[in-house]
Structure 1
């Protein structure tokens, strides 16, 4: 189905991402020198973080080439930390004067289509698409702060970072990768648990990923807003109002009286989005439905033994020691 906004379109499928040995990327020589982990998904360690080989050419190109517009909004997150929901809320909030709920792009496009991942489009060699999007753009990244382009760090565009309790991140991450058809032997939960604890997953280690954005937000709170997934679930009205204020489109008194915040939250709710036909469709070898599993807090209890949970909690406690940060 054609999207209502002619500038928006479905993202390319994962199959469009070339394997490193299939690309003529100018970054290939550098990537081949990086530390490597080949446990089922090929990862390389770059600037202290592990990234899949398929995405690294895009991250490197983004670092070198991407130029944000002054009114861009950047959404950042570790994978499986609430990006899908944050994209829907931010896109709807920012463009509430442009789209009616009855004729909205989210009715026909997945949130990841409305808010594209910057590095993915560079990896697809589809970066020109980003330039066709009208301003103000809402763009996303899973990159750590230290691997963001210098152009984003020094720009005026705000960065909104959402984070989630690591045990829930791990469970959501595992459920996602077991559905990826290009993995001939999906890892067991125990295998994924060990890789996660060692930081050897895409974007990992999660603790360093979160702390980079958190510490930068302390130095520059007008540049980076930290949102916590659990708090957003518990107090979505407060969260959306903070978001709107931070990105420069606060709600008016009339909008508040008319319940617009509540309407946006309902429109972007997990159950509402999950039930849309578009989010039951398949894009290449990655179904939109894979982004809508449970969206809850505490689901780790259904996958993780007490011993596993205790180990991960201890690692988290150690990694966060000395920082006034909790999930």
Structure 2
């Protein structure tokens, strides 16, 4: 998927630009909005990444439970090599973002050689990404498995707003009203969020063996049922012995918000030298938007969501 521009700066200059929620400007590429840094990395990824048969890709809109689900998939895939109650479990010492790299930031020379987040001899690799389905490297749909996690739009927005002012990439903090207006107009990272969700929703029906569509709220309400469903999709179903020993519950506890947010690795240090690790943890509570948005704001997001998803069979 090569582009004809000689430099990344030439490409950026050719694209629609408007104010961003996380950074001063966002650029529209293939119908979605990105910061300049993410866009450059995405284009490199499109041009050079090659998926393998056992690869797993966790896809989310930003602030939809990404950190939580990176931990869950990592613990699930590696449960035989490292029991979730092991006091030396990697998730107790490293952040989920260290253990499950972002697809866009994997160096081209590393993607087939050095990335290995399976603790045994398995060839499985796990990546995270916010990339819409239309912009994924072509080999992913041919060879990988995709887990798509979505969340109530209102809670997603509130978490994104607070994250923006935590990381402080803009010249000054963004107001709730300004962020809300941009979000509603679709100018959110890898957004419009509704278009991103719909792309994966439709693909999960077209290719259910390739794309598993999951909801944050379902995982919160019935974690054991959803974890079993996830394990089955990834080809790692729980054995009866594992069920009897309480292994699913142990994975859920290890990866819980309370456990993860209180670990030293997640409270200190930074990601890629630019984002504090504790910035990735916000409330995590379903319906927390009610504590931050007006009734009118909530109603407006619900109305947009209903209009966007009309006729799709999807409701959030």
Structure-2-length-normalised TM-score: 0.91
What is the rounded CA distance, in whole Å, between the counterparts of 2:186 and 2:168 in structure 1? 23
| Counterpart check, 1:297 vs 2:282 | no
Q: 1:68 aligned to 2:51?
A: yes
Q: Which runs of 5+ in 1 are unaligned?
A: 1-23
Counterpart contact for 2:77–2:236, Cα < 8 Å: yes
Q: Which runs of 5+ in 2 are unaligned?
A: 117-122
CA distances 1:98-147 after superposition (whole Å, capped 9, x unpaired): 123222111111111111111133xxxx3434431233111111000000
Q: Distance in 2 between matches of 1:287 and 1:263?
A: 28
Residue in structure 2 matching 1:196, options 183, 196, 200? 183
Please say if residues 48 and 108 of structure 2, whose CA atoms lie closer than 8 Å, have aligned partners that are also in contact. Answer: no
In 2, are the aligned partners of 1:27 and 1:60 still within 8 Å (CA)?
A: no
SS across alignment from 1:178:
helix
Aligned pair in 2 of structure 1 residues 25, 247: CA closer, same or farther (>3 Å)?
farther
Pairing 1:191-270 to 2, within 5 Å after superposition: 191-270=178-257
Q: What's 1:89 paired with?
A: 72
Find the counterpart in structure 1 of residue 128 from structure 2.
140
Q: Deviations over 1:253-305 (max 9, x none)?
A: 10011110011101111100111100111213321111122111111111111
Cα RMSD (Å) of the superposition?
1.5
User: Deviation of residue 25 (structure 1)?
Assistant: 8.0
1:29 corresponds to which of 3, 7, 10: 10
Deviations 1:195-226 (A, max 9, x none): 00001011110100000000011111000000
Q: CA offsets per residue over residues 25-52 of structure 1, 9 Å max, x none?
A: 8433223211011355211001110111
Work out the CA distance in 1 between the residues paired with 2:109 and 2:198.
Answer: 32
Structure 2 match to 1:152: 140
For 2:155 and 2:19, locate their aligned partners in 1 and report how far apart those are by CA, in whole Å.
24
Q: Distance between the aligned counterparts of 1:282 and 1:127, measured in 2? A: 26
Give the Cα separation in 2 of the matches to 1:233 and 1:294.
13
Structure 1 residues 32-74: Cα deviation after superposition (integer angstroms, max 9, x where no partner): 2110113552110011101111111111111111001111111
Partner of 1:309: 298
Where does structure 1 differ by over 6 angstroms across 4 or more consecutive aligned residues? none
Do the aligned partners of 1:164 and 1:228 also contact (CA within 8 Å) in 2? yes
Give distance in 2, aligned partners of 1:250 and 1:38: 45
